[in-house]
Structure 1
Amino acid sequence: MSRAYDDHMETVNAERERAYVAGQLGIDPDMLDEHPYTLDYATTNDGGIVTAWLLNWDDDAPEGVNAEGNSGSLWTSIAPDYSDDSDRQSDDE
């Protein structure tokens, strides 16, 4: 595949993830601009099945979003997006 195609698909996937995350949180996707996060995965004990997406907030969670942890180390758990079957297995396999 071409580099342009790969870049386009990366953008499409990032926009899809952002829309899904915002929908799960019940917020407008634009609110995520002010609340950056990194995405991690909770898996079954054997690491094979993704059971939750963990949003690790860089600073704080958007207003109205439940977050666990302490200031500087906050996270929110949401249901994984299984619309793409590749998400069903962790990246470790």
Structure 2
Amino acid sequence: MTTAEKPKKPIERNKERAKGGKKKDRMAGGGLVYVLQKYDNAFSEGLLDEIAGWFNEGYELEDISEEIKRPATEILMALIHLADQEKIEKAFAYRKRNEAV
């Protein structure tokens, strides 16, 4: 890359790869990384209800993690699931919306 060239945005790079990339490059074993495999992603319905309740009452992710003795990453995974199920009343992440997308 020359100094005059701007680096491409991640979305642009991914679109180029998707168009021209070989199928084996996008399939398992072809360079894909499965993320968060070391974490337990199973929660009982009761525990999910407790996590949602604590979080909606104002408890921090780290406090919930300590209370139920699971890694904060697993609690974050549960919160993402709960947000997707519309069971979280307060925001746990902020994202600036881009009108162009």
User: Do they fold alike, i.e. is TM over 0.5?
Assistant: no
User: TM-score, length-normalised on structure 1?
Assistant: 0.20
TM-score (normalised: structure 2): 0.20
Q: Could you say which structure has the higher strand fraction?
A: 1
Higher helix share: 2
